[in-house]
């Protein structure tokens, strides 16, 4: 250095040093700036995702979300990402998870990625399981995954029954399943997953993959004395549920035996197995997959006389009349009410952990038609002449009409010709109803209506949909009380409103049915289960209630709430405001007194949606009136934050600021911030995007209960990324976050990229994803 100073002089040396320092600092700041750009963050995300995708800590649903979001950003990435995974098993499970998500939430849409995911999973299944794995754990795992994929494809084919490619996939999967089942039968071991083994046989039975010889072999082996097999069917096996202290003993061996005998048409052996089931478990009839599921195999395999003999014998054993058994069988036929993620509801409400066998749900239309013929003959032959027969014929034709309408509406094939067929059934139904005496109609019977209860027969018939009326010991599984509007449309078209609903109490059945529609349509997170009521049908129903002589005596708020939000979403704000003005704000809280807690969530979400829409369309006074009827200040905060969230997302920052500040002012007077308020308030604040807001959101999240902290954090990441701040969103990951939390953060950032460029084909997926983040709770 000394020599350099002597040679060049101190000024030149200082200049060179300064130049190098400036270059170094410039390089640092350029690097620092570059790493904070969104493109850099996205490239970093891709690198960081690789070990997460190949590891076993993050769930397959999270991995599937990454592949789906990447596909949305850059078409073709789905297959590239799956091909890049290091194991076939990982590829298989991620493809299944993606197919499950897409098929469930876009059930009627034509989203191309659904079939791509299914076909990809099928290709992996052929690689993994065309040759039976030697490892017993792999065999058990294969049963589980193949069953899941089979169920997904079956669900898809319910809506797209003409898709030959997926038909081929489904046939391949069920064939592989049956091969694995038969292998396990020949090579049993001590810790077989018998639940999945039974399910694989049932799935094979459902799709006719076993020959008669193989069925006989199955029955012989399961009924026989093979020690290894019998060890897995303990007579005293206890099945418990997480949601109930209730435990049940249940021997699954005889359920599967009864199913196989039914497929063979052997009534005597089938009923002998049923006898053992009932002896082992007196509450067997309350199981979701009980004797009604067994009946499905007689029907599927065309054993109609054997079915009639079975129904007669089963009815005696459970204290029914034969036509009542047929009625319960028909109640499940062709109704895919148990969507992929909805199985747990059957288990919860029947208080038994059990496999729900879809043998009746996916039954072919021709088979169901023949079953209804058997049902009709049974009503005529086994009901008492007079009132009992007249009433049950009325129920039969109503039930048949409801089935036909719902079945073909699901498939988008409800033609004018089918409308005529359905209306003919309803006319025949009404004819038999008018022949039933007043005394008989006014008698109470046991029904399953939300919960076990009693209702007069008259109300069972006049309810706009189907109510399962059963003896008191009948199955208590979940029945859906909304299916279709076709019966109510018939009543309105035929000017029968005053006949069916002469008093305000009876007219209230229509508003109860609307509530059932709302619950089925928007059931918590697994939403969009029911077919959407078109706006013109909603208007017709409202007009029919309004013009009824007792129309002013019923609380019509739910219908007005649904109709108004529907009109706003249809870009008809004038009509929407007209319906909103007719809502009685003071009666809005009454809606929450009529429902169970889970249903409150969507009702309040609808109120929040309407509240925000009214403000956007300059109806501030009406919006304030709606908010003001909720006495609990926490509910007012939720509504206000919900509105602020919608304003920020739709680019209306001035309104967003105003309502976020309004929420702050309510909180400032001492509102207790529970986790629901905390989540929504943090989300709204982060969407605004000021530095102080991020600090506020971070503080709210840190103070949240530990279970909800990750939920709040995920929401905050999405809001930050919506504002284009990918570096801030990604760098804020807590240092010791799990692999699942890291991948979830990445998914939130990737999903935010799709927000400003949403394509119509992804609309239903977006509805689900956005719903997860904007759901608001109701405080009692």
Domain ranges of the chain: 2-35, 87-210, 495-630, 632-780
Which residues on adjacent β-strands are paired with residue 455? 445
E strand intervals along 343-488: 444-449, 451-456, 468-469
Q: 24 pLDDT band (50/70/90 cuts)?
A: low
* pLDDT(597) > 90: no
For residue 113, give both structure tokens. 């990625």
Which whole-number Å values give the CA distances from 464 to 217, 391, 537, in the listed order? 48, 16, 14
* pLDDT(704) > 50: yes
Question: CA 33, 34, 36: angle at the middle one, nearest 5?
Answer: 70
Q: Per-residue pLDDT tens for 37-47?
A: 888 998 999 99
Cα–Cα distance, 469 to 379 (Å, whole number): 15
pLDDT in tens, 542-592: 999 999 999 999 999 999 999 999 999 899 999 999 999 999 999 998 888
Q: Are 689 and 725 in contact (CB under 8 A)?
A: yes
412's CB contacts (< 8 A; 6+ apart) are: 108
pTM: 0.87
- Contact indicator for 48, 746 with CB cutoff of 8 Å: yes
Residue matched to tokens 């809506």: 159
Per-residue pLDDT averaged across 64-87, rounded? Answer: 95
773 pLDDT tier (thresholds 50, 70, 90): low
* CA–CA separation, 528 and 511 (whole Å): 20
Q: Max alpha carbon distance in the chain (Å)?
A: 125
In the predicted model, what is the mean pLDDT of the chain?
83
Q: Is the pLDDT of residue 388 over 90?
A: yes
Q: Mind listing the pLDDT tens digit for each residue in 240-297?
A: 433 333 344 455 688 889 999 999 999 999 999 999 888 877 777 766 567 888 999 9
Distance from chain centroid for Cα 232: 33
To which H or E segment does residue 240 belong? Answer: strand 238-240
Q: What gap in Å lies between CA 602 and CA 521, rounded to an integer?
A: 10
Identify the pLDDT of residue 23.
60
Q: How far apart are CA 594 and CA 589, in angstroms?
A: 9
pLDDT score, position 227: 66
Mean pLDDT, rounded, for 195-207: 83
Judged by average pLDDT, the poorest of 196-210, 363-377, 560-574 is: 196-210
Residue with more model confidence, 768 or 527: 768
Confidence of residue 333 (pLDDT cuts 50, 70, 90): confident
Residue 778 to residue 119: CA distance in whole angstroms? 42
Q: Locate 644 and state its tokens.
A: 């602020």
CA distances from 260 to 123, 179, 358 (A): 30, 16, 15
What is residue 199's predicted lDDT score, i.e. its pLDDT? 80
The pLDDT, as a whole number, for residue 341 is: 37
């Amino acid at each position: 250095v000394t020599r350099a100073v002597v040679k060049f002089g101190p000024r030149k040396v200082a200049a060179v040093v300064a130049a190098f320092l400036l270059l170094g600092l410039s390089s640092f700041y350029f690097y620092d700036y570059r790493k904070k750009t969104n493109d850099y963050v996205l490239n970093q995300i891709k690198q960081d995702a690789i070990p997460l995708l190949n590891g076993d800590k993050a769930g397959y649903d999270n991995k599937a979300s990454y592949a789906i979001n990447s596909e949305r950003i850059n078409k073709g990435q789905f297959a590239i990402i799956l091909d890049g995974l290091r194991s076939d098993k990982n590829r298989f499970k991620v493809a299944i998870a993606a197919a499950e998500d897409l098929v469930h939430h876009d059930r009627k849409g034509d989203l191309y990625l659904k079939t791509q995911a299914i076909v990809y999973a099928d290709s992996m299944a052929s690689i993994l399981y065309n040759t039976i794995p030697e490892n017993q754990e792999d065999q058990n795992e294969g049963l589980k995954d193949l069953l899941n994929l089979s169920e997904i494809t079956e669900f898809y084919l319910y809506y797209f029954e003409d898709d030959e490619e997926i038909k081929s996939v489904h046939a391949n999967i069920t064939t592989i399943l049956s091969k694995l089942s038969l292998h396990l039968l020949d090579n049993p071991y001590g810790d077989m997953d018998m639940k999945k083994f039974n399910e694989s046989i049932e799935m094979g039975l459902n799709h006719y993959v076993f020959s008669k010889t193989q069925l006989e072999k199955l029955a012989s082996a399961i009924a026989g004395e093979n020690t290894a097999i019998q060890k897995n069917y303990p007579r005293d096996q206890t099945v418990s549920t997480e949601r109930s202290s209730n435990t049940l003993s249940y021997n699954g061996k005889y359920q599967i035996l009864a199913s196989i005998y039914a497929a063979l048409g052997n009534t005597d052996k089938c009923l002998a197995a049923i006898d053992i089931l009932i002896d082992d478990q007196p509450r067997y009839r309350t199981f979701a997959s009980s004797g009604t599921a067994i009946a499905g195999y007689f029907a599927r395999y065309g054993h109609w006389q054997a079915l009639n003999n079975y129904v007669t014998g089963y009815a005696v054993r459970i204290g029914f009349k034969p036509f009542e058994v047929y009625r319960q069988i028909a109640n499940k036929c062709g109704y895919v009410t148990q969507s992929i993620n909805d199985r747990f509801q059957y288990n919860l409400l029947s208080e038994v952990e059990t496999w729900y066998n879809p043998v009746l749900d996916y039954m072919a239309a021709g088979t169901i038609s023949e079953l209804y013929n058997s049902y009709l003959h049974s009503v005529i032959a086994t009901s008492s002449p007079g009132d009992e027969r007249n009433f049950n014929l009325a129920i039969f034709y109503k039930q048949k009409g409801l089935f036909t309408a719902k079945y073909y509406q699901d498939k988008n094939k409800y033609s004018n010709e089918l409308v005529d067929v359905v209306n003919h059934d309803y006319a025949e139904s009404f004819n038999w109803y008018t022949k039933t005496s007043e005394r008989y109609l006014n008698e109470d019977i046991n029904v399953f209506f939300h919960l076990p209860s009693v209702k007069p027969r008259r109300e069972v018939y006049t309810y706009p949909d189907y109510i399962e009326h059963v003896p008191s010991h009948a199955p208590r599984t979940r029945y859906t009380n909304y299916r279709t509007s076709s019966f109510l449309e018939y009543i309105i078209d035929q000017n029968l409103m005053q006949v069916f609903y002469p008093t305000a109490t009876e007219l209230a059945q229509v508003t109860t049915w609307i509530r059932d529609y709302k619950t089925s349509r928007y059931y918590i997170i697994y939403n969009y289960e029911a077919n959407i009521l078109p706006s013109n049908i909603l208007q017709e129903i409202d007009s029919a209630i309004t013009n009824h002589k007792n129309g002013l005596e019923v609380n019509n708020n739910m219908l007005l709430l649904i109709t108004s939000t529907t009109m706003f979403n249809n870009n008809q704000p004038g009509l929407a405001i007209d319906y909103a003005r007719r809502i009685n704000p003071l009666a809005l809280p009454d809606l929450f007194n009529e429902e169970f807690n889970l249903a409150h969530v969507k009702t309040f979400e609808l109120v929040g949606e309407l509240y925000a829409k009214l403000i956007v369309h300059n109806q501030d006074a009406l919006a304030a009136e709606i908010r003001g009827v909720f006495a609990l200040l926490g509910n007012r905060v939720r509504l206000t934050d919900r509105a602020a969230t919608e304003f920020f997302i739709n680019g209306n920052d001035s309104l967003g600021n105003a309502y976020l500040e309004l929420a702050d002012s309510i909180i400032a007077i001492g509102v207790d911030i529970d986790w629901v308020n905390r989540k929504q308030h943090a989300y709204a604040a982060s969407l605004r995007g000021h530095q102080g807001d991020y600090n506020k959101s971070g503080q709210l999240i840190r103070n949240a209960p530990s279970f909800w902290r990750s939920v709040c954090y995920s929401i905050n990441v999405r809001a930050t990324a919506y504002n284009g701040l990918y570096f801030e969103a990604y760098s804020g990951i807590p240092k010791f976050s799990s692999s699942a939390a890291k991948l979830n953060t990445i998914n939130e950032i990737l999903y935010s990229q799709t927000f400003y460029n949403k394509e119509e084909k992804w609309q239903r997926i977006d509805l689900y994803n956005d719903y997860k983040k904007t759901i608001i709770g109701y405080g009692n």
